[in-house]
């Protein structure tokens, strides 16, 4: 959502951006939204709603800003989840991790986190990188790790928790206070998931 917010303030509809790869199959069958776009004049604060895409682009070219409402944000979230599902996730090899009896996985406000080339704060496009890794805690005992590598995965629950805590923006949660505190303490360490 942060990237979308930043994009809409810097997007220039008159500039063509090169495409890294063509859109995934199925994108043409997505229906257009039926609610209007909320636009705001940055000089006067005047707001209006338009339903026509051409009219939206016309206002946008004149400097009006798109005001994202909660329905817009939800739609963008669904679109990104679909894109991950059809574009990035099939490219990765997935491993199910089970936490040992006396260990647990944590989760955070970023339920699925990834890193590429050792960097955890990367845009989704970084999932194309050969070193990309995705971590998704599903329960306190089960997590999925997706990566481009196919060699055997050797990782501890503590390393997964450190990564999830490092990717978090606002909160980390877990089944015990001690596992959450450990993940928060560990998050300043170098993040390495797979060896």
Is residue 81 located within the same domain as residue 109? no
Is residue 53 located within the same domain as residue 38? yes
Range of the domain at 154: 92-186
In sequence order, the 6+-apart residues with CB closer than 8 A to the CB of 89 are 134, 146
Choose the final residue of a domain: 36, 69, 87.
Answer: 87
Which ranges in 64-111 belong to alpha helices (H)? 70-83
Is residue 180 located within the same domain as residue 125? yes
Distance CA 169, CA 38 (A): 28
Is residue 61 located within the same domain as residue 147? no
Q: What is the pLDDT at residue 195?
A: 47
Angle at 175 between CA 154 and CA 107, to 5 degrees: 60
Asked if residue 70 belongs to a domain, the reply is yes
pTM of the predicted protein model: 0.65
Is residue 146 located within the same domain as residue 75? no
CA distance to 38, 111, 118, 160, 176, per residue, from 108 (Å): 31, 6, 20, 12, 14
3-class SS at 79? helix
Choose the final residue of a domain: 87, 104, 126.
Answer: 87
Is residue 96 located within the same domain as residue 72? no
Asked if residue 81 belongs to a domain, the reply is yes
Count of the separate structural domains present in the chain: 2
Contact between 131 and 117 (Cβ < 8 Å): yes
Q: What is the pLDDT at residue 20?
A: 67
63: left (phi over 0), alpha (psi -120 to 50) or beta: left
Q: What is the mean pLDDT of each run of 10 residues along the chain (195 residues)?
A: 56 61 76 80 94 87 89 83 84 92 94 83 82 92 88 84 90 96 85 49
Q: What is the pLDDT at residue 17?
A: 59
Q: What is the pLDDT at residue 74?
A: 86
Asked if residue 195 belongs to a domain, the reply is no
Is residue 81 located within the same domain as residue 100? no
Choose the final residue of a domain: 87, 115, 130.
Answer: 87
């Amino acid at each position: 959502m942060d990237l979308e917010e930043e994009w809409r303030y810097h997007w220039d509809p008159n500039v063509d951006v090169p495409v890294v790869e063509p859109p995934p199959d199925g994108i043409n069958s997505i229906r257009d939204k039926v609610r209007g776009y909320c636009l705001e004049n940055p000089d006067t604060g005047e707001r209006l709603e338009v339903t026509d895409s051409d009219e939206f682009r016309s206002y946008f070219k004149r400097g009006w800003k798109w005001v994202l409402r909660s329905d817009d944000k939800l739609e963008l979230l669904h679109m990104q989840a679909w894109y991950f599902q059809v574009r990035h996730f099939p490219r990765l090899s997935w491993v199910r991790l089970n936490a040992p009896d006396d260990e647990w996985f944590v989760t955070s406000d970023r339920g699925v986190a990834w890193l590429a080339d050792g960097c955890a704060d990367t845009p989704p496009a970084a999932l194309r990188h050969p070193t990309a890794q995705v971590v998704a805690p599903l329960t306190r005992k089960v997590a999925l790790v997706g990566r481009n590598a196919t060699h055997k995965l050797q990782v501890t629950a503590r390393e997964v928790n450190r990564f999830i805590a490092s990717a978090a923006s606002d909160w980390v949660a877990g089944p015990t206070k001690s596992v959450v505190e450990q993940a928060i303490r560990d998050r300043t360490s170098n993040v390495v998931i797979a060896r």
